[in-house]
Chain A
Amino acid sequence: MNKVNRFLLHAVVLLALIASAFAVKVGDPAPGFTSVDSNGKQQSLSNYKGKFVVLEWHNQGCPYTKKHYESGNMQRLQKEWTAKGVVWLTVISSAPGTQGFVTPTQENDYLKTMNASPTAVLMDPGGSLGHLYGAKTTPHMFIIDPNGTLIYNGAIDDHSSSDQSDIPNSKNYVSAALTQAMAGKPVTEAATRPYGCSVKYKD
Chain B
Amino acid sequence: MRQIFVSLTLAAFSCAYAQQPSTAHARVELLSQQSSITPENNLLLGIHFVLEPGWHIYWTNPGDSGQPPSLKWQLPAGFSAEEIQWPHPERMQKNAELADYGYHDEVLLPVTIHVPASARNGSSAPLVADAKWLVCREVCIPEHERLQITLPVAARSKENPATARLFLNAKKNLPKSLPQNWRASATSSKDDFVLKIIAGKRITKAEFFPLEPNQIDNPAPQKLAASATGATITLKKSDQLLKPITSLRGLLLLPDGTSYKIEAPVRKPIQ
- Give complex CA distance A16, B98 in Å: 11
- A198 (CB) vs chain B CBs: closest residue: B65
- Assuming the contacts A61-B139, A191-B214, asked whether A134 and B242 have C-beta atoms less than 8 A apart, the reply is no
- A59 (CB) vs chain B CBs: closest residue: B139
Cβ B100 vs Cβ A198 within 8 A: yes
Shortest A39–chain B CB gap in Å is 28
Cβ B97 vs Cβ A136 within 8 A: yes
A153 contacts the other chain (CB 8 A): yes
Residues in chain B near residue A98, CB distance under 8 A:
138
Residues in chain A near residue B141, CB distance under 8 A:
63
- Give complex CA distance A59, B141 in Å: 14
Cβ B242 vs Cβ A191 within 8 A: yes
- Give complex CA distance A134, B64 in Å: 11
Which of the segments A19-27, A43-51, A70-78, A175-183 contacts the partner chain? A19-27
- Give complex CA distance A124, B242 in Å: 29
B29 contacts the other chain (CB 8 A): no
Cβ A196 vs Cβ B217 within 8 A: no
- Assuming the contacts A99-B138, A161-B67, asked whether A192 and B240 have C-beta atoms less than 8 A apart, the reply is yes
Cβ B242 vs Cβ A190 within 8 A: yes
Cβ A154 vs Cβ B240 within 8 A: yes
Cβ A201 vs Cβ B95 within 8 A: yes
Annotate B230-265 by CB proximity to A: 1 below 8 A, 0 otherwise: 000000100111100000000000000000000000
Residues in chain A near residue B96, CB distance under 8 A:
15-16, 19-20
- Give complex CA distance A57, B98 in Å: 15
Cβ B214 vs Cβ A162 within 8 A: no
- Give complex CA distance A203, B64 in Å: 16
- Give complex CA distance A153, B240 in Å: 7
* CB interface residues, A 144-166, toward B, < 8 Å: 153-154, 160-163
Q: A62-B140, A191-B242, A197-B65 known; 13 other A-B pairs, CB under 8 Å?
A: A23-B217, A25-B239, A26-B242, A62-B139, A63-B140, A134-B97, A137-B64, A137-B65, A153-B239, A160-B67, A191-B214, A195-B67, A196-B65
